[in-house]
Chain A
Amino acid sequence: MSLKVIIVGAGEVGYHLADRLALEGHEITVIDTDEEKIKRIERHLNVMPLQGSGASAQVLEQAGIKNTDLFVAVTNSDEINLIACLLAREYGVPRKVARVRSEDYLSPTSPLSEEKLGLDLVINPARVLAEEIIRLAEISEATDWAEFAGGKIILLGYQVKKGSSLDGISLNALRDLRSLYDFLVVAIVRNGNTIIPSGRDQIRAGDKVFVITKKRDIPAIEYLLGFTSKAPSRVFIIGGGQVGFLVASQMEAKKIDVFLVEQDKARCEELAEKLHHTVILHLDGLDAQELLREGIDRADLIIAVTNSDTVNILSTLLAKHHGAQKGIVRIDRPDFIPLLSPLGIDVALSPRLLAANQILRFVRRGRILSVATFLGSEAEVLEIVVPENPRFRKGLRLLDLDFPRGAIIGAIYRRGKIIIPKGETILRPGDDLIIFAHQKALSQIENLFAL
């Protein structure tokens, strides 16, 4: 079903969101006061651009607010976002999403709560980023993580290192392992290309593999692959802003030794008051000598979350060079992300992309979270329902189905139950299939499941 969507704010979040939603066939209008941003949208995306303020009723009417299904306000200003959403409420828009940064509006005791403002979803990029960091810090080796089917099914991305368990393993061997470990490799990203693997394909060092599994099986799988799923015990956080503070406070609560590096003296004092066990270091994140004296070389995790991409990248590379184990880096310019993995940065996260993805998840509300954003543009994730026709009614084994090369069924959702399919799995009408497919295979898949 195509939705009519208004997005206020054409920054990274708004842009990314407009791009994804337009690809899914929704009708999008993007509003921004900045002429340059509007021009960028006009040049690259198939959406309706409108220059003006999202907090102006006149502009909103021009954008067609009266028959809008979804209203998203993601400018850099909390106040504009909130006013725009209040206006949208007055116009009767059923679903409203606002990006809100200030903790003042977010605390449970605030007189202006989500509910009072009539918001369906509030996005705070710093919180989203902090949550993602905590989650990735706990799964030792995964670099990407997405969940669907209400969190029962997890898609994990692993970077395959030289000499690691997966280096040199064939998909056939992994298929045989399925009787012990219920997981499936649904995509391999190699040199920037996405491969949907089949039996003879082999995993190599340098690949990023995407594995689908049930949430409860993750510990066993990480055990098999030899990952120490131990939580980190000694963490250095570079940057004491909102994200650094949120991560530090959650980690110190878990009895992790946290060192928080912040350049600004006044902010250091503020942090020292709010945090109880974290060691606050008034230092420059690039001051290798001082950081070594504090033992950054023995850290098992570096989290670099200053406002500067360059500082984040360099401080992490420096720490890893001296012996720190793993690095998670905040990146504002998404264009940098592909460069970082070859440099040895384990995880790069863009708060804006994360925020946009959270909104997408909300919009779809369905079981699937589009993971296409990880996989690159050649691959897609589709959800297809097995049709009610004679062929499927008698029950068809997956291996008897002429399933096209370049596509794989990652999971089957059957009456609330999740199945990670094998060759002998029988498909039934009404099964909801989550399919990972190369674009070349799309038309064949559509034919296969035609009514």
Chain B
Amino acid sequence: MKISEFLPEEAILLEVRAKDKWSLFQEVAQILARLTGISAEKIIQLLSEREKLSTTAIGDGVAIPHSRVEGLKEIVICVVRAENGIDFDSEDKKPVRLVFVVLAPEGESQLYLQTLAHIAHIVKDPQIKKRLLAASSAKEIKEILEEVDYEY
């Protein structure tokens, strides 16, 4: 599977200045709302609810906030970079510089888990992570993710 299929270029944000995850959610919700037709308030609420259960930061400056969303048609991913780092309450205390937001339809089952697993797998590769952080355009980020294809 390729996660790039679910990643519209408009949903790649090269430089976000949010200071913490809550204000980041505000920002990405606007873009995701435009792309999906789901209300921004709903998206903020769902991502925040999940975040309150436990942080979605996975360490080493990466976070993967995610939720199922009622009424959504297909999985959508949004990639965010934040050079200054975002406070995500990460267990390793490191600020987050790379974020993958994943929304999935309510009924999406195994593909949702695979998408999350796939992203977690990709960002563990220091080479790919470095390239994603160095990329100079949304197009380039999408191209890097198109290269990585992983079958479970």
Q: Is the CB of A168 within 8 A of B58?
A: no
Does B128 make an interface contact (CB < 8 A)?
A: no
CB distance from B9 to the nearest CB of A (A): 25
- Chain A interface bracket (under 10, 10 to 19, 20 to 34, 35 or more): 20 to 34
Q: B53 to chain A: which residues have CB within 8 Å? A: 219-220, 223
Say yes or no: A167-B109 contact (C-beta < 8 A), given A172-B152, A179-B58, A180-B58. yes
A180/B152 in contact, CB under 8 A: no
Which residues of chain B are near A176, meaning CB under 8 Å? 117-118, 120-121, 124
A170 cross-chain contacts in B, Cβ below 8 A: 152
B124 CB, min distance to chain A CBs, angstroms? 7
The count of A-to-B residue pairs whose CB atoms sit within 8 angstroms is 59
B120 touching A180, Cβ below 8 Å: yes
B88 CB to nearest chain A CB (Å):
13
Given the known interface contacts A176-B121, A179-B120, the answer about A164 and B152 at a Cβ–Cβ threshold of 8 Å is no
Interface residues of B in 59-90 (CB under 8 A from A): 59, 64, 68
Given A180-B64, A217-B54, check contact A169 B120 (CB 8 Å). Answer: no
The distance from the CB of B116 to the nearest CB of chain A, in whole angstroms, is 6
Q: Is A338 an interface residue (CB 8 A)?
A: no
Which residues of B from 26 to 69 have beta carbons under 8 Å from A?
Answer: 50, 53-54, 56, 58-59, 64, 68
How far is it, in angstroms, between the C-alpha of A219 and the C-alpha of B54 when the chains are bound? 9
CB-nearest residue of chain A relative to B63?
A180
Cα–Cα, bound, A174→B68 (Å): 18
Partner pick for B124 among A179, A219, A220, A226, CB 8 A cutoff: A179
Shortest Cβ distance from residue B115 to the other chain A in the assembled complex, whole angstroms? 10
User: 1/0 per residue B108-124: CB within 8 Å of A?
Assistant: 01101110111011001
Judge whether A366 is part of the interface by a CB distance below 8 angstroms.
no
Give the Cβ gap from B129 to chain A, nearest Cβ, in Å.
13
Docked complex: A205-240 residues within 8 A CB-CB of B: 216-217, 219-220, 223-224, 226
Chain B residue nearest to A224 (CB atoms) is B113
Q: Which of A163, A174, A216 contacts B109 (CB 8 A)?
A: A163
* A262–B120 CA distance with the chains assembled, in angstroms: 53
Residues of B within 8 A of A166 (CB): 109-110, 113
Which residues 152-168 of A sit at the B interface, judged by CB distance below 8 A?
A: 163-168
- The answer for the CA separation of A174 and B50 in the assembled complex, in Å, is 19
State which residues 103-149 of B face A: CB under 8 Å.
106, 109-110, 112-114, 116-118, 120-121, 124
In the assembled complex, the CB of A198 is this many whole angstroms from the nearest CB of chain B, namely 14
Closest residue of chain A to B59, judged by CB? A179
Inter-chain CA distance A226–B114, complex, in Å, is 14
Tell me the smallest distance from the CB of B89 to a CB of chain A, in Å.
Answer: 14
A163 to B152, CA, bound (A): 17
- Residue from A169, A172, A177, A216 having most chain B Cβ neighbours under 10 A: A177
